[in-house]
A = this chain, B = another copy of it.
C-alpha cells in the first residue's frame, strides 16, 4: 500500500474525530503512542510491537491530514535514495 493510500484511509476513518480534537491534542496522542512503542520494544512480544508500530504510523498520518501535509510527498522529497545530509547511499555521516 502506498504511503498516500494509507494516509487517505486514515482520513476516511479519523479526520472527523482528529480535526475536532485539534493539532495539539492529536500530537499529544502521537506522543502517547511513541511511549507505548518504547514499552513494547522492552517487552519482546512481536505482535504487540507490530501493533504499536501500526499505531504510530496511523497517528502520524492522521496528524498529517489535519495539518494538510502529504506524508508520501514529504518523505520522498527529503529522502530521494540518498541521505539528505551527506548525499550518499548508504549514508556516510559520522553521527
Contacts and interface: CB of A to CB of B under 8 A. Distances in A.
Interface of A: 1-3, 6, 9-10, 12-17, 23-24, 27, 30-31, 34, 37-38, 41, 46, 49-51, 53-58, 60, 64, 67, 69, 71-79, 81-83, 89-91, 93
Copies held by the complex:
2
B78 A58 contact: yes
A58 B34 contact: no
Given A13-B83, A83-B13, A93-B17, A57 B3 contact: yes
Given A1-B2, A13-B83, 5 more contacts: A13-B89, A53-B71, A53-B74, A54-B79, A60-B60
A69 to B, nearest CB: 5
